[in-house]
Structure 1
């Protein structure tokens, strides 16, 4: 036995020495800030052996009187282990996504369904007052190449034109556009060792979960240990030694005050303070000043973070046309069915635009797959029809899952739908997208049965639980909340003769037009468009095609012996509503409100105003026609919602007058080039143009005013827009506009105030005199002046 051991000792010695050399080399690498440990599990024996080598190394370093090196090596080894555990846990958390309800929906690997999103760089955190569906419609028409695309994986890498490093990024995008899934993909790629390995630790924090902790006080260290218990041993020995990334997801759902002005300054990560103080100091950079910070938000809430706390703003634009098709082909295994769905989506402009949002693609895929597989005769072509089919599909799913019913007819649960609808409506009024237990109780939803309620409408109503926290609730998308709120308003009038919008109980013979009038007035009262889509859904529900799908939800005692729900509300009701909407269109001062009202007419299948304008357009008579206010509004709607990009707007195709330019102002705002040459305009039009140049959201880059006698008065008005910091005009033609030295002086002043955009200025055919030429020439000496 001893002889066998003696023979094997050299081999054993060789293996031990090789292992020691390998581990000592690893310990040497651990001292480098670039070291990354593979997250693959090591055997227990190998882990024990590693610990033995570490203990030996620490022992001999202390013997050599290098305790400082021993401490550093020990801290680094602990941190490497923490990093490995964090990566493993984040990979497990983000490698799968739930389609529908968290825990109860169907889980699918993120890699299998993930499709790259179109993300653009640039912009600001300004509040966008357009309703989110209108923002999607607006972006679908922007000329290609106008925004600079950026890959999500490169979000912290400065572009070639940036001269500073990027530490704090704000990513905005409408609900359901893919902000959170982009964050998850970024984290998953990091955890798997694929990208951004210069980052050592990523700490994803969700405002939805932070809300529940807002009443208590913590230190930042407490907060990190609470959400990431694997970091309990982590040694924050030097903040600048490791590149850290904090992700704050869902700023729009934050119920904290975020008082950046009033909160005290905080630099100690172990100091116990309110959550509001900790987060504002983390965002400012007082805590972990070298750490990266990534905040996601819907556009309306982006302004809650001061501009000086943001180095770069990016925007998730959703799917472009190529990515839409890629999503459907990935999501649907039957490629023949996928092709049919893609073809149908393309045939409906409203559906095609909505498919910029990944969440709507998911809804469309689910609904259209069901329709094509069952051979249903009616195929949804409008938003209301799509969402009504979605509700039917989820209700069938619930019946099959909980009641073992395979009946092709929908077995409605009116009471439950009314409770969910009430929740949707009341929270929509408050502007809330997430709800808590008390909100459910107030609407008669038993919290203990919330999962069953969610199962009733499966993916319509989602439950999400924090790892260590309570439960919060939300609808999968704002549009689903708006649909259910509209359905609730419709059913309350149909079954109870109760107009919930005006809070009045109607008489038995009161028509649905009363409710419609209340809804129109309510939508117009909110500048943020909060009830715009709600109104479109409500009006769509008054059509027979949608009511037939909902047969069984309206009380039969109201219908009597009649078979069809639609007989409850005759065509006369819709006619009254149409006349009322047209009156409001004539009065509308906001293009956003006017555009939504035209969408409402579309929902009611009334295209009379649009047909009038389209007949003028096709006959080429618009340059001579005298239009009514309603027809002007219709013209703006046609131009803003047409399939063609508004790259060039030429007033000569329409009516050459100051009034025409004022009426068509929303169109000019969205065009890249505006041609107004020889249109008989006066200085009055320059006031309109100046207001457009002052808007940060304006796309106008080229403006031709040549041949209009606007004079010095007009140029002065125009210069109030040119000198505005938001003005990004690049080319301006004022040839033959009757401008003298006074107008040149105004131009020189504007160029000095805002020299960085205007590249071409045409002033031929004017009489500035020597003084005017000298003033303008002096403005050109500014080094920042781009004028060629």
Structure 2
């Protein structure tokens, strides 16, 4: 044996085929013409050895890379659209359409249904990023990108995106700095659950081209793990042991956890794709960047349908746009394929066909198309008329049961054991996947183990709904409740109502929202046109009267005030039942301006939010002052502003509330949700004037103002009771995010000298774009009062046509223009009001009384309390006088009138929100029995007594 030399390498060789043949005195390398027979070479210099070693290792990596690229080209160069095996394959580069990928996003548990997620996310603009740039260092960071987590709903194109990334690398178009690219799917890994590998052994197992490599530390390697949501491995990041040696054998979950942590092969890059619901499984500290695949943009949708329909494309696109629920779903590429499949068959078979108008109708047609294909294939029919043969009926029923059972478990992929639980064997599943390839598909895993799935989760949910519908009306069993309907449930209800009401209740109670789309389908199946298409498969027929009871039940639920997302899904359910009455009623109120004149119910607010989100036009501004309602309902509407791409302005200044909520404006509590609005990158203008936000509300608001995505340019907080503390919060927020806000209105607040100095200093900082700052109060002086006090008048006045001849009232001569503020010190019983000058002066009808008509607005003050009057309607206010001074704020252009109690602080008593049609003037009135009452009108700048009534 030769002695160990310090010149020999102690690390594991990069390439396993470079070896020492010490017994024969030979040193050989199988990858190159290196045959050394002189034993003196054992004492070669370290530099020479390193050079030879690196050369051979480089050749080994190059050979592995070359073979790997060849394998990936063969695997990903051609794909079948929509299904895995059916149809002719097409070059991926030919059909691939660039997807809309955004950077950023939250990692919290997302319990929103994926269709609802698309309805909202598709309207939320974010920073976009291209697929080829995922692992390039971003301009805002110097840290290299190690792990990218890409979210996206089922069918949006995540898998195709990874395949295109691999193909671009294999064909030399992008990311050539990567030496090895190793794609896995969790479906493949699931099959090996319980098997143990070293990391090196796992790579050799999946990639035969890598069998010459044993060390990857010095290589640029990218691991792709597609489909985290399908992972059935126990990924426990808290308790899994640390593993650093790539040659140490462990279970797959241990290997994955340590790869993701970065303790195993820390130099490697990782790309993980997942549905939004499972994104939170990966700890945030392990992730360098979160991206989201949004699918097709509106332009990409049109491009897709123009390729599919050519001459009829314009009409098809117009039709799809007219049905908002279908148009939204078209953000998902595979849904575009489903929709195209249905429309193509309808256009081929019929002249001027009746096209689907709801989501349920579309999926019924899709099922019918597949059944007709089977009839043509196995029964030699023309395919024009549909005959539900016993084989097809059994097939649909079996698939429906499987769909429902797995939906309840939250599974999107199934194995043979899952099939057997539903009474299906592998042979039957293969038949179904061979016939209904566009509904149910079979894929080969490692060693050709079979996994099964529906082509999209929406297809699974539709078939699950069909199973529940058919089972209930054929056997009386409500599988949602796992029992027959009880006598109590059936009292006074039809069978249809029993089924539908129980489904609505379950969907509303589901913490994961997994029944949202299922509920839409279940209700839609009760429509006569859908039952006509399914005649022969299902036998039950429902009447419009029965459906009306379901509609009434849903409207009742809407008035119970569920969360905005759940309420919006109920409105989609009404749409599937072909009931648009609630939305149409709200639209009519919007057109006529009636919404501001009535107290809106939770159902009204849900309908209004539904209209905003379903609007074809891009709204540039939402004026929430137009809509009166509770603060809770208003905040339920606010999230709608987040999902409107072009909405650049939101006005919520002085939104009055119903009498049940003390008729006050937005409270400090409202500012938490408002901060989320600020995080919308499209929002540039926000007017919150004349709301009782206070410093605590401003602090909450600043959490959104300082966030990086905030692009707000104009913020109005006029009359929001902001003091020095609030100004300090604003200053801190603008220092954190100084690049966007240009205008800040803090007029009619109390910033004090310190607050004013902080904000003024901010405008001098070079990085701050704030150039317009308003914080001074500009109060109008009220002079030249016209007074008539009857026989008690202590001052002789000449006759004047504007003098009241019955009531003790007086109007100011100067009008309140723009924003105005005055204060009144009172004693006794006093009416403080603003009015149009054309107020009736003669007689004793309500037309001449302050607050007794639609031309004046009045606050009555007494030691017993306050009340407000307008149009002869009194509202007693619960607040007791804290002082004998009230403040009156008027914004004529905004239509805002607010009364305050003034002590050491301002307390909002009441606000009116209306459209003033004429100039306003201040007015004072006394009761007939108010001898000894007095008022003093004054401004901050120049206190002045105007009137005393003795």
Shorter-chain TM-score tier: 0.7 to 0.9
Q: Which residue does 1:37 correspond to in 2? A: none
2:288 to 311, 332, 338: 311
Query: Equivalents in 2 of 1:701, 1:494: separation in Å?
Result: 50
- From the two aligned structures, give the one with the greater helix fraction: 1
Q: 2:93 aligns with which of 108, 111, 135?
A: 111
For 2:375, which of 399, 409, 417 is the aligned residue? Answer: 399
CA shift, 1:783, in A, is 10
Query: 1: CA distance between counterparts of 2:85 and 2:737?
Result: 55
Shift in alpha-carbon separation, 1:778–1:62, aligned structure 2, 3 A = farther
* Alignment partners' CA distance in 2, 1:297 and 1:660: 34
**Structure 1 residues 450, 104: closer, same or farther in 2, change over 3 A?**
farther
SS in 1 for 2:331: coil
The verdict on how the C-alpha distance between 1:277 and 1:784 changes in structure 2, with shifts beyond 3 A counting, is: farther
- CA distance in 1 between counterparts of 2:607 and 2:237 reads 45
Please say if 1:548 is aligned against 2:548. Answer: no
For normalisation by structure 1, the TM-score amounts to 0.84
* Deviation digits for residues 36-60 of structure 1 (CA, Å, limit 9, x no counterpart): xxxxxxxxxxxxxxx9996435559
Partner SS, residue 623 of structure 1: helix
Tell me what 2:317 maps to: 342
Tell me what 2:938 maps to.
Answer: none
Contact 1:736 1:765 (8 Å CA) reproduced? yes
3-state DSSP of counterpart to 2:667: helix
Decide whether the 8 Å contact of 1:719 with 1:750 is kept in 2: no
Alpha-carbon distance in structure 2 between the residues aligned to 1:179 and 1:747: 41
Change in 2 beyond 3 A, CA 1:663/1:590: closer
Which residue in the other structure is 1:764 paired with?
747
Paired with 1:526 and 1:659, the residues of 2 have a C-alpha distance of 22
* 2:508 is the counterpart of 1:524: yes
1:127 corresponds, among 106, 109, 114, to 109
Once residues 528 and 321 of structure 2 are traced to their aligned partners in structure 1, the CA distance between those partners, rounded to angstroms, is: 25
Task: Evaluate the alpha carbon distance shift between residue 441 and residue 329 of structure 1 in structure 2; reply closer, same or farther with a 3 A threshold.
Answer: same
Q: 2:159 aligns with which of 180, 204, 207?
A: 180
**Which of structures 1 and 2 has the larger relative contact order (alpha carbons within 8 angstroms, sep 6+)?**
1
Give the C-alpha shift of residue 67 in structure 1: 4.8
In the TM superposition, residue 659 of structure 1 has moved relative to its aligned partner by: 6.3
Query: What do residues 192-243 of structure 1 show as CA deviations (whole Å, max 9, x unaligned)?
Result: 122221111110011111112121221111111111122111242x612x21
CA 1:689–1:460 in 2, change beyond 3 Å: closer, same or farther? same
* Residue in structure 2 matched with residue 385 of structure 1 by the alignment: 361
Provide the rounded CA distance (Å) in 2 between the counterparts of 1:447 and 1:109: 31
Displacement, 1:308? 1.3
> Which consecutive unaligned segments of at least 5 residues does structure 1 have?
1-32, 34-50, 556-564
Asked whether 1:239 is paired with 2:217, we answer yes
- Please state if 1:222 is matched with 2:201: yes
The aligned residue for residue 675 of structure 2 is 693
Structure 1, 74-83 or 476-485: larger mean CA deviation = 74-83
- Which of 615, 627, 651 is matched with 1:642 structurally? 615
The answer to whether the Cα contact below 8 Å between 1:180 and 1:249 also exists between their aligned partners in 2 is: yes
* Rounded Cα–Cα distance in structure 1 between residues aligned with 2:616 and 2:251: 51
Q: Is the 8 A contact 1:267 1:287 kept in 2?
A: yes
What is the 5 A alignment of 1:702-781? Answer: 702=684, 704-705=686-687, 707-708=689-690, 710=692, 714-723=694-703, 729=710, 730=712, 731-745=714-728, 747=730, 760-774=743-757
Choose from 637, 652, 660 the match for 1:664. 637
- Structure 1 residue 535 corresponds to structure 2 residue 519: yes
The alpha carbon displacement at 1:165 in A equals 2.3
Q: Say which is worse superposed, 626-635 or 591-600, in terms of deviation.
A: 626-635
Q: Give the alignment of 1:49-448 within 5 angstroms.
A: 55-56=32-33, 65=44, 66-142=48-124, 146-236=125-215, 239-240=217-218, 242-330=219-307, 332=308, 335-375=310-350, 377-412=353-388, 413-448=392-427
CA offsets 1:361-383 (integer angstroms, 9 cap, x no match): 11111111111111163211211
Give the CA deviation at 1:104: 4.3
Deviation at 1:134, TM superposition (A): 1.2
Q: Quick check: 1:206–1:248 contact (8 Å CA) kept in 2?
A: yes
Q: Which stretch shifts more, 718-727 or 761-770?
A: 718-727
* Alignment partner, residue 605 of structure 1: 578
The answer on whether the counterparts of 1:85 and 1:230 sit within 8 Å (CA) in structure 2 is yes
SS of match in other structure, 1:439: helix
The answer to whether the 8 A contact 1:690-1:718 is kept is no
Tell me the distance in 1 between the aligned counterparts of 2:257 and 2:29: 44
Stretch deviating more after TM superposition (283-292 or 747-756): 747-756
CA distance in 1, matches of 2:400, 2:421: 13
Q: Secondary structure at the match of 1:156?
A: coil
Distance 1:202 1:495 in 2: 53
Taking the TM superposition and a 5 Å limit, the aligned residue runs for 1:502-651 are 502-506=481-485, 510-555=494-539, 568-651=541-624
Give distance in 2, aligned partners of 1:211 and 1:359: 25
Give, in whole Å, the separation in 2 of the partners of 1:229 and 1:183: 21
C-alpha contact (below 8 Å) 2:80/2:89 kept by paired residues: yes
What runs of 5+ residues in structure 2 fail to find an aligned partner? 1-13, 15-27, 658-663, 772-950
Q: Measure, in 2, the Cα distance between the counterparts of 1:696 and 1:264.
A: 42
**How has the CA–CA distance of structure 1 residues 684 and 782 changed in structure 2, closer, same or farther, with 3 Å as cutoff?**
same
- Deviation of 1:455 after TM superposition, in Å, equals 2.5
Residue 491 (structure 1) aligns with: 470
Give the C-alpha shift of residue 457 in structure 1.
1.9
Distance in 1 separating the partners of 2:302 and 2:562: 38
8 Å CA contact 1:693–1:728 kept in 2: the answer is no
| Post-superposition CA distance 1:415-454 (Å, at most 9, x none) | 2211111111111111111111111011111112221111
Contact 2:223 2:271 in 1 (8 A): yes
1:227 touches 1:468 (CA, 8 Å); kept in 2? no
TM-superposed deviation, 1:769:
2.1
| Pair 1:694–1:660, CA change in 2 (3 A) | closer
Decide which moves more: 94-103 or 251-260: 94-103
Q: How far apart, CA to CA, are the structure 2 residues paired with 1:161 and 1:214?
A: 40
Aligned to 1:559: none
Shift in alpha-carbon separation, 1:336–1:465, aligned structure 2, 3 A: same
- Which whole-Å deviations, capped at 9, do the CAs of 1:273-296 have from their partners, x for residues lacking one? 121111011112222212211111
Contact 1:265 1:281 in 2 (8 A): yes
Contact 1:622–1:653 (CA under 8 A) maintained in structure 2: yes
Q: 1:544 to 1:139 in 2, by over 3 A?
A: same
Change (3 A) 1:227 1:54: closer
Q: Does the CA contact (< 8 Å) of 1:100 and 1:462 recur in 2?
A: no
Judged with a 3 Å threshold, the aligned counterparts in structure 2 of structure 1 residues 599 and 77 are, in CA distance, closer, same or farther, namely same
Please, what TM-score do these two structures have when normalized by structure 2?
0.71
State the secondary structure of the residue aligned to 1:128.
coil
CA distance in 2 between partners of 1:61 and 1:748 (Å):
78
1:148-175 Cα distance to aligned partner (Å, 9 max, x none): 2221122212343333322211111111
Q: Indicate whether 1:677 and 2:650 are aligned.
A: no
Contact 1:397 1:458 in 2 (8 A): no
CA contact 1:684–1:714 (8 Å) conserved in 2: no
CA distance in 2, matches of 1:513, 1:706: 45
- Higher-strand-fraction structure: 2
For the 8 Å contact 1:141–1:646, the answer to whether it is kept is no
Deviation at 1:667, TM superposition (A): 3.0
Superposition deviation, residue 741 in structure 1: 3.2
